[in-house]
Structure 1
Amino acid sequence: MFRFSPLAWLQARIVVLPLALLSGLATAAAQPSAETFFRKPAVMDASLSPSGKRLAFSAPYGPTGRVGVFVLDLQTAELTPTRAAHFSDADVPSFDWVDDERIVFSVVDLQAGSGEDYRTAPGLFAAKFDGSELRALIEREGRSFVQSAESRIRTLHWNHKLLHVPVPSEDPRGARADEVIVGEMSGSGNELLSVEPLWLNTRTGATRSFDTYRHPRGALSWWFTPQGEPRLVLTRDKGRLAYHWFTPDGQGGGSWKQISEGTMLNPPPSPAWVGADTLYLEQVMGPVGESYVVPFDFSKGEPSQEPLVKAPGFDFAGSFISGRDGSLLGVRIDTDAEQTIWFSSARKALQALVDAALPGRVNRLSCRRCEADDAVVLVRSFNDRDPGQLLLHTRADGKWRRLSQVQPGIEPSRMATTDLQRIRARDGRDLPVWITGQKKGTDGKPLAQPAIVLVHGGPWVRIGHWRWEPMRQFLASRGYLVIEPEFRGSEGYGMEHLKAGFKQWGQAMQDDVADALLWAQKEGWANDKACIAGASYGGYSTLMGLIKHPDLYRCGAAWVAVTDPFLYVEGSWWVRDDIADSGRRYGLKDMVGDPKTDEAMLKANSPVEQAALIKAPLLLAFGEDDLRVPLAHGKRLRSALERAGRAPADWVVYAREGHGWRKPENQIDFAQRLERFFAQHLQR
């Protein structure tokens, strides 16, 4: 049972300040503590209501620090928050406005550790902006939320999830007032087989069937118009993926047609934006396989070859911004930094105004009634040294208000800068590398520092962005140059760069990591004192760095690390994990290696098999409840090291944590362990 906590209040968080004060506070002498970097943000998310009359935000509050949702009435002179949802024994990680009165949200336990994610589905709940009319809509797996006999009847089973919050429509096929679209998930083991949409009333909990016009079987993902009409589905049949488009016939019906197909290893172009009769796709077409955004030509049944959005050297990464009427307002893209391109002159002018007042920052705008005299604008402003500020502008009175710092205690003037460099790997491949904490001497030349090569997980993701990030800034604050390579196999820089990493674990991928450090040393930014660190695949790379390039690194820190490629690719009857069978059948064998045909390669690049070659001091950490990289990986490596007489210098297992640490006390404890470990081996 969730309990409301007493409301004493957050009023101190709402501060009206001139924009000039956003440049940062005075520099203090004391080194920022680990807690300063890893505590919960003061504001986690914020969203204007559909009319712009209210602003909802999620934030930790009270002695328990539980995250709740609070609402400001923007029609009043004093911005006094009202509690919409706050509980003494649970947290609200995400929320959406249904209309100007009602909010839907999920509930998790952020103080139970990340292992909670594997045990409890978040459910779905709704309440008015003032906290009244609270109703459970989807039950939480493993937890009760009892209101009445009626609510128990109305509450959907935990295998449902929120798919879409629509705009109410007069069309009977669209959304009615108070309704959202949820999906019923069915599957087998770790395998999701289908998602069936359903209309759900957020006030009564009543449901009604969704007229999907005999949609294709095996639908896993859905895209809707703002009013809730289906337009696109993604299906999977064994290892094949296909997209299907729905065309209404104007008489209450319509038909589905397959428009593209591919495999899990070579998927069809994914949707970038779905409109009522328009589809934009992310199509691989750049010189090195970058994905550009192109319109789909329905008359020809294929994507156009004329890109709408492209950024040479980068895959499209971002989102399109839509109006509640379904119109396309702009596009937000992330290359070496985030920027927004608006299609309307009013929004362009507004963006220019904010950018002029807050230069050298990413200023992310959302607004309501943007062209009107009573426009309301919410700005999230941040850069590589500042976690961010939330500002509110009301055109009617001309006021700008700073609502909150995102991460109080962080002084931007004391943080390090982050830059993206493009270097050449030893085989000539373009290699993006993020560098944090570069220093120059009084002569303007690079000042060599001890370095930490921080290897990202995934590995098939893009990890680097021009924004404040706690681990890189924490390490930089301790006097280290932080090097984050986007080694081959990383997404975001073209299909060629991604596929160049297939079956290269511990090989060319590992050489890229070493080349980033060698480049920094050659350029004079790093000295000969370096350690390597990372989580998940980054932990694997840490171990292989110590095995393959022992002369480069004085130490290594690996957490939630893949240590046994065979266990990762094959799985085991005796070790439970969350990797889907389809992923193992149709992806991992081609991307990592086949345990049969590539047995020798996998053994040569297995930390468990090669543990005797690890000579440098090693810190290992794992989550007790990790299902992505189960604790068995850590135990197998620890045993192999002990057999070789190379017991890890530091070993820790965090209870109730999964694939990473959620509890602030664990994040702080681990950061302090890293601090002591690196100081021991780099500051002597």
Structure 2
Amino acid sequence: MLHKLSVRLPFAAACAALLAIPPLAAHAQSAPEQTPVEHFFQRPAVLSAKLSPSGTKIAISTSRGDKRVGLVVIDLAGGTPKANRAATFSDADITQFEWVGDDRLVYSAVDLQDGSGEDRYFARGLFSVNADGTQPRTLVSRDGSTNSLDGRLLKWNHTLLAVPEQQPGIRPDEVVIGEMYFDHKSMTSVWPKWINVRTGRTRIMDVEPISHVVAWDFDTAAEPRVAYTSHNGVEATSWRGPGEKKWSELTQDKVLEAKFTPVGVDDIGNLYVTHTDQSGYSVLSKFDFKTGKPSATPLLETPGFDFRGSLVEGRPGAGPLGVRLITDAEQTIWYDEGMKRAQAMVDAQLPGRVNRISCRRCGADEAVLLVRSFSDRDPGKLFHYESVSKKWNLVGAVQDEIDPQRMSRVSMHRIKARDGRDLPVWVTQPAGVKAGQPAPTVVLVHGGPWIREGDWEWEGMQQFLASRGYLVISPEFRGSTGYGYAHYRAGWKQWGQAMQDDVADALLWAQKQGLASNKACIAGASYGGYSTLMGLVRHPELYKCGVAWLAVTDPSLLLKGAWNVIDDLDDGSRRYMLPQLIGDVDKDAKMLADNSPLMRAWDIKAPLLLAFGESDMRVPIEHGERLRSALIKAGHPPEWVTYSNEAHGFRQVSTQVDFARKVEAFLDKHLKAEKP
């Protein structure tokens, strides 16, 4: 039986006091003509939310009520929810946390107000605390210190790897951490060991040694089942089944030539992998240990898309509950009958949205659900549902200052590129534009470039641009992943060439459809910034202006580096991967020069806004400074902005807001204003 969505105000009020969001009974207020720029780039009210093992508590990482992102626990027991701030820092933000049993949490922290990126992957530390905020403990140092009262504080190069589900044979209060070793800017080994989150004591994990491990997969008991190794351009996958002590190598491949990719494991000895089948798309299969290959019959295939998703972990000793995947939008395929019914119930209550469920006592009559419900126009809301009482509770909004009714619709289209290749294109349509009335357009090119960018969900930059009246076109040009191996492979060594033609073809299609006007600007970051520059070089007739930030301006500098330019690209990428994907600095020298914005600076004549982070080590600021000098010599100086405490990806809210305002003013000047 379906039940109407209702909210118990005591619960909503308790969460509202914590997260600074109004209960549902809040009075409506008149809205301004435009949503303020700050609202699009604010820190989310809720970064993450997780149920405790019993389902009686919810842990939330949130910045509401404090200047920093802290860890808050809502205790649902006793009928009256009680919220308390379990952990917070004055100089850092809690970005990763897990429950260890029902009364203790383990968490890491980074400084989100430091844009340098030095703590983005490492030096996060590891800490633990009781759910009520008592008995805090530092397990791993963030600053390199190893001093503590009992001498058990570990160095910064340790990271959380796995938290086991409580079950027979598992010691309470223990989690798995990895000690990382490095060589030539790359991680050469991650070795697991147990640590007690209350005492800090560590013990050796009984695992056969294996060299050059870079990652692991664990089962629900935190037993390592898959080891990934990488050395001298060769990547290998090894397997260790239940009850086995020794590793068996399943495959050994050169970089970029993997025959399959593990997705996860279950507790009954299955390994789940993706591989490219005869259709040319990646599918999900079980690995057949007898044949040494993925099963010929896939478990799941997504026509028109590569499989992208993860297993929904099942109960200890069992297989997965389901598979969470993304085609044009996210969905969950449940194997458990109880969870199928739960998903149907949730979808009926919250129609037309993606409803991502996490659960405790999953599929049972007394199941507890935590639902994140979102759409292309709504960053999301969190709901708590108790199957026994059949009552819904609003936990809060992910971005509480965003009004979904004022946001823009997002749609995906399949068009044909000039050579006939299938080309996926995402379109964010500005609200209020009449049918048949073309809008000024921003072609927003994603970075990577070997990623899939688009999803049916709310994105701050796209929505900001659309709110200012611009049609936003986001092409998944060849070289992008997620749309078949042929589409990905067709982008190899095509920087500035066929990849650039795809970007142009997306705009030409939108103009032919009557969506885009002849006033268009091209924009993007990282590779998207490179594509912006090459768009102005190769298709100057299409673009009135360009906005490039964190942009690669010279592929040769990216590929080989320079003695006086410090970057973070490891030797393995430069030796074994980038020459195949972009080009060989010697064999392809002419091709790289022909498609270098720096070498083609004389051809960039449209107005250009360039922005860089002064601490960027992926695309160092030298890329921007060299191009800026060349453009000044060519007589076309760009608008120029740098941010002193930002790396590759603007992380500080103040930077994002300031840059968005500069973009808004630049576009308004060159797209909206008519020349006299």
Query: Take 1:375 and 1:217, find their aligned partners in 2: how far apart are those partners?
Result: 43
- Secondary structure of the residue that 2:356 maps to in structure 1? strand
Please tell me whether residue 264 in structure 1 is matched to residue 288 in structure 2: no
Deviation, 1:660, is 1.4
SS at match of 1:107: strand
Q: Shift in Å at residue 614 of structure 1?
A: 0.4
Structure-2 residue corresponding to 1:189: 184
Separation (CA, whole Å) in 1 of partners of 2:329 and 2:386: 27
More moved, 289-298 vs 392-401: 392-401
**Cα distance in 2, alignment partners of residues 344 and 115 from structure 1:** 41
- Cross-structure match for 2:302: 311
**What is the alpha-carbon distance in structure 2 between the residues aligned to residue 551 and residue 12 of structure 1?**
49
Match of 1:346 in 2: 338
Distance 1:45 1:546 in 2: 40
Provide the rounded CA distance (Å) in 1 between the counterparts of 2:125 and 2:360: 29
Contact 1:337 1:465 in 2 (8 A): yes
Equivalent runs, 1:184-333 vs 2, <5 Å:
184-213=179-208, 215-248=209-242, 250=243, 254-276=245-267, 277-287=269-279, 289-325=280-316, 326-333=318-325
Alignment of 1:365-376 (within 5 A): 365-376=357-368
Residue 438 and residue 118 in structure 1: after superposition, are their counterparts in 2 closer, same or farther (change >3 A)? closer
Q: Distance in 1 between matches of 2:430 and 2:83?
A: 42
2:178–2:190 CA contact under 8 A, matched in 1: yes
Given that residues 54 and 72 in structure 1 are in contact (C-alpha distance below 8 angstroms), is that contact kept between their aligned partners in structure 2? Answer: yes
The offset of 1:16, in angstroms, is 5.9
1:210 deviation in Å? 1.1
CA gap of 1:524–1:338, structure 2 versus 1, over 3 A, is: same
* Counterpart selection for 1:511 from 496, 501, 509: 501
AA in 1 matched with 2:77: Q
Structure 1 residue 357 and structure 2 residue 349: aligned? yes
CA 1:216 to 1:12, structure 2 compared with 1: closer, same or farther past 3 Å? closer
Contact 1:27–1:411 (CA under 8 A) maintained in structure 2: no
Cα offset, 1:186, TM superposition: 1.0
Corresponding residue for residue 575 of structure 1: 565
User: Counterpart in 2 of 1:149?
Assistant: 149
CA distance in 2, matches of 1:681, 1:25: 37
| Greater alpha carbon shift after TM alignment, 449-458 vs 179-188 | 179-188
The equivalent of 2:65 in structure 1 is 62
Given candidates 422, 428, 447, the residue that maps to 2:420 is: 428
Whole-Å separation in 1 of the counterparts to 2:213 and 2:38: 44
CA distance in 2, matches of 1:429, 1:551: 23
Among 549, 562, 573, the residue aligned to 2:539? 549
Matches of residues 524-563 of structure 1 in structure 2 within 5 Å? Answer: 524-563=514-553
1:45 aligns with 2:48: yes
Displacement of 1:370 in angstroms is 3.2
Q: In 2, are the aligned partners of 1:272 and 1:281 still within 8 Å (CA)?
A: yes
Q: Structure 1 residues 322, 596: CA separation in 2 closer, same or farther (over 3 Å shift)? A: same
Aligned to 1:460: 450
Letter in 1 for 2:149: A
Structure 1 residues 673 and 561: CA distance shift in structure 2, 3 A: same
**Against the structure 1 CA distance between its residues 119 and 316, is the aligned structure 2 distance closer, same or farther, given a 3 Å change threshold?**
closer
Partners of 2:84 and 2:35 in 1: CA distance? 33
The equivalent residue for 2:646 is 657
Q: What is the CA–CA distance in structure 1 between the aligned matches of 2:536 and 2:299, rounded to whole Å? A: 45
TM-score (norm 1): 0.93
Asked if 1:397 corresponds to 2:389, the answer is yes
Distance 2:19 2:230 in 1: 51
- Give the secondary-structure state (helix, strand or coil) at the position aligned to 1:498: helix
Cα shift readout 1:293-335 (whole Å, capped 9, x = no counterpart): 0111112222111110110111111111012414310111100
Match of 2:658 in 1: 669
Residue matched to 2:160: 162
What letter matches 1:455 in structure 2?
V
CA change 1:78–1:489 in 2 (3 A) is same
CA–CA separation in structure 2 for the residues paired with 1:40 and 1:619: 25
**Is the 1:116–1:656 Cα contact (8 Å) retained in structure 2?**
no
Tell me how far 1:290 sits from its aligned partner: 1.2
What do the CA deviations read for 1:634-667 (whole angstroms, capped 9, x no partner)?
Answer: 111111111212110x211111110111111111
Match of 2:3 in 1: none
Structure 1 residue 507, shift from structure 2 partner: 0.3
Taking a change above 3 Å as real, the CA distance of residues 640 and 12 of structure 1, as seen in their structure-2 partners, is: closer
Asked if the contact 1:440/1:446 (under 8 Å) is kept, the reply is no
Match of 1:93 among 79, 92, 95: 95
Name the stretch that deviates more: 593-602 or 231-240: 231-240
CA distance in 1, matches of 2:121, 2:332: 38
SS, match of residue 331 in structure 1: strand
Q: Give the match's secondary structure for 2:94.
A: coil
Contact (CA 8 Å) 1:418, 1:436: kept in 2 or not? yes
Residues 565-588 of structure 1: CA deviation (Å, up to 9, x unaligned)? 111011122111111110110000
1:642 alignment partner, SS class: helix
Write the distance in 1 (CA, Å) between the matches of 2:433 and 2:136: 60
Q: Which amino acid aligns with 1:11?
A: L
Preserved CA contact (<8 Å) 2:430 2:469: no
Kept in 2: contact 1:625–1:656 (CA 8 A): yes
Deviation at 1:286, TM superposition (A): 4.7
Query: Match for residue 408 of structure 2?
Result: 416
Uncovered stretches (5+) of structure 1, i.e. residues with no partner: 1-7
Q: Structure 2: which 5+ residue stretches go unaligned?
A: 1-14
Q: Residue 254 of structure 1: SS of its match in structure 2?
A: coil
Letter aligned with residue 303 of structure 2: P
Q: Deviations over 1:67-100 (max 9, x none)?
A: 0010011113332311111122221011111111
Partner of 1:3: none
Structure 1 residues 475, 209: closer, same or farther in 2, change over 3 A? same
- Match status 1:406 vs 2:390: no
From 378, 389, 393, the counterpart of 1:386: 378
Question: Aligned equivalents of 1:9 and 1:412: distance in 2?
Answer: 19
Asked if the contact 2:16/2:396 (under 8 Å) is kept, the reply is: no
1:230 partner amino acid: P
Do residues 638 (structure 1) and 628 (structure 2) align? yes
Q: Deviations over 1:23-55 (max 9, x none)?
A: x97773420111011111111100001111110
Give SS of 1:81's match.
strand
Which has the higher mean CA deviation after the structures are superposed, 499-508 or 255-264? 255-264
Q: CA RMSD in A?
A: 2.1
The answer for the alignment partner of 1:683 in structure 2 is 672
Cα distance, 1:184 vs. partner?
Answer: 1.0
Aligned-pair CA distance for 1:114:
4.2
Contact 1:27-1:414 within 8 A present in 2 as well = no
Q: Deviation per CA, 1:214-238: give whole Å up to 9, x if none.
A: x432111111111122211111231
Shift of 1:350: 1.1
TM-score when normalising by structure 2: 0.94
1:130 to 129, 132, 144: 132
Give the 3 Å change call, closer, same or farther, for CA 286–75 of structure 1 in structure 2: farther
In the alignment, residue 115 of structure 1 is paired with which amino acid?
G
Partner of 2:37: 34
Is this contact kept in 2: 1:14–1:402, CA < 8 A? no
- Contact (CA 8 Å) 1:270, 1:282: kept in 2 or not? yes
Code of the aligned partner of 2:369: V
Distance in 2 between residues matched to 1:314 and 1:480, nearest whole Å: 28
Matched-pair identity in % = 52
Q: How far 1:414 sits from its partner (Å)?
A: 1.0
